[in-house]
Structure 1
Amino acid sequence: MKNRCFWVTNSQLYKDYHDNEWGQPVFDDATLFEFIILETFQAGLSWITILNKRENFRKAFDNFDYKKIANYPAVKYNSLLQDTGIIRNKLKIKSAIINAQLFIEIQKEFGSFSKFIWSYVDGKPIVNKFHTKEDVPTTSALSDKISNDLKKRGFKFVGSTVVYAYLQAIGMVNDHTTDCFKYSVL
């Protein structure tokens, strides 16, 4: 039996996410945007709730196509508010549209969102050596800095806790605990 991080439940969905995605460095803009959507909707909720609805989000948000999302008309916004397959929070749905527009602005400025976000760590993941649940923080100086920068640019639902979870998800921060089988392979 594989030893996984403390937060992984018996859910196969959770195990697959942990084993195949979480903490893996992501440099593709489309995937980086997908995680922005998922993490911002997760704010205040459990991650398993989001994972269980991930495919619904994928369908509702046009496969996380930020170019389409940035141009959603009011009728699409209103249809998302009625979509029971996703989190129907008015502010979070509006933030997905705003964040898509700002994501494109960052691409124009830096060439890609990946170049922008990974510049904070010179393109190299931070590998922490946490042993227990209590060791793993929910924010860091890095997540504070990125959160502040994104907020100044107009992004919504990007507090330091959300940003830290995002950094973990996209592999900029490797927080697999030292007893996890993924710790040594990343």
Structure 2
Amino acid sequence: MIRRPAWANSSVEMQEYYDHYWGFPVHNDQKLFEMLSLELFQAGLTWQTIWKRRAAFEQAFANFVIEEVATFDKKKIEQLCADPTIIRNRRKIEAVVNNANVILQLRKKNITFNDYIWQFVGGKAQRLVLTEGENLPAQTRKSQEISRQMRKAGFKFIGPTIIYSFMTAVGMVNARLE
């Protein structure tokens, strides 16, 4: 039987997310980009809201194919701002397109997004042990540092809270209950 934190038992979708996605190390550029994008859309909202719309986000953002998203122009951004199936926040949409372009710039330097993001934890998941009922911190010194470095690299809409949520989602921080 899988032990889950309270948030993961709040709905069938959250159980599915926890059981099959959350906290497992991700090393695929496209999946990392997708999770970073979904995390930035979550800002100010619940994760359940975003996860329920995941299929719509995938369709709207070309399955998060980095090369495709990087080509989105003003017309495409306008279309996305009018799409009721996703979160229609222009700053967030523009940040996703910007971030795809930053990842392509990293690739020109022979740096994959996977290598870039995992370097911050030495390529190895960091273990966080929580006691029963203890909540994840909203951010850490490490997420603050990563957020600063990513902003310097050109990424947008990646504050320390978004980054810490991303880190736990993609397994850079392993906070799963054992």
- The bucket for the TM-score relative to the shorter chain is over 0.9
Rounded to whole Å, the distance in 2 between the matches of 1:116 and 1:65 is 18
Q: Tell me, yes or no, if the aligned pair for 1:99 and 1:156 is still in contact at 8 Å.
A: yes
Rounded to whole Å, the distance in 1 between the matches of 2:136 and 2:69 is 34
Counterpart of 2:117 in structure 1 is 117
Rounded to whole Å, the distance in 2 between the matches of 1:150 and 1:169 is 18
Q: Which runs of 5+ in 2 are unaligned?
A: none
Rounded to whole Å, the distance in 1 between the matches of 2:135 and 2:53 is 29
Rounded to whole Å, the distance in 2 between the matches of 1:10 and 1:159 is 26
- 2:50 paired with 1:50: yes
Counterpart of 1:72 in structure 2 is 72
Matches for 1:157-172 after TM superposition, within 5 Å: 157-172=157-172
1:137 deviation in Å? 1.1
Counterpart of 1:3 in structure 2 is 3
Q: Which range moved further: 56-65 or 98-107?
A: 98-107
Rounded to whole Å, the distance in 1 between the matches of 2:110 and 2:164 is 22
Counterpart of 1:91 in structure 2 is 91
1:52 deviation in Å? 0.7
User: Against the structure 1 CA distance between its residues 120 and 110, is the aligned structure 2 distance closer, same or farther, given a 3 Å change threshold?
Assistant: farther
Q: Which runs of 5+ in 1 are unaligned?
A: none
Counterpart of 1:153 in structure 2 is 153
User: Against the structure 1 CA distance between its residues 132 and 108, is the aligned structure 2 distance closer, same or farther, given a 3 Å change threshold?
Assistant: farther
1:152 deviation in Å? 1.3
Q: Which range moved further: 100-109 or 158-167?
A: 100-109
Counterpart of 1:173 in structure 2 is 173
User: Against the structure 1 CA distance between its residues 89 and 135, is the aligned structure 2 distance closer, same or farther, given a 3 Å change threshold?
Assistant: closer
Q: Give the percent of matched residue pairs that are identical in Structure 1 and Structure 2.
A: 38
Q: Which range moved further: 22-31 or 98-107?
A: 98-107
Counterpart of 1:30 in structure 2 is 30
AA aligned opposite 1:68: E
Q: Tell me, yes or no, if the aligned pair for 2:2 and 2:19 is still in contact at 8 Å.
A: no
Rounded to whole Å, the distance in 2 between the matches of 1:144 and 1:119 is 15
TM-score (norm 2): 0.94
1:110 deviation in Å? 4.5
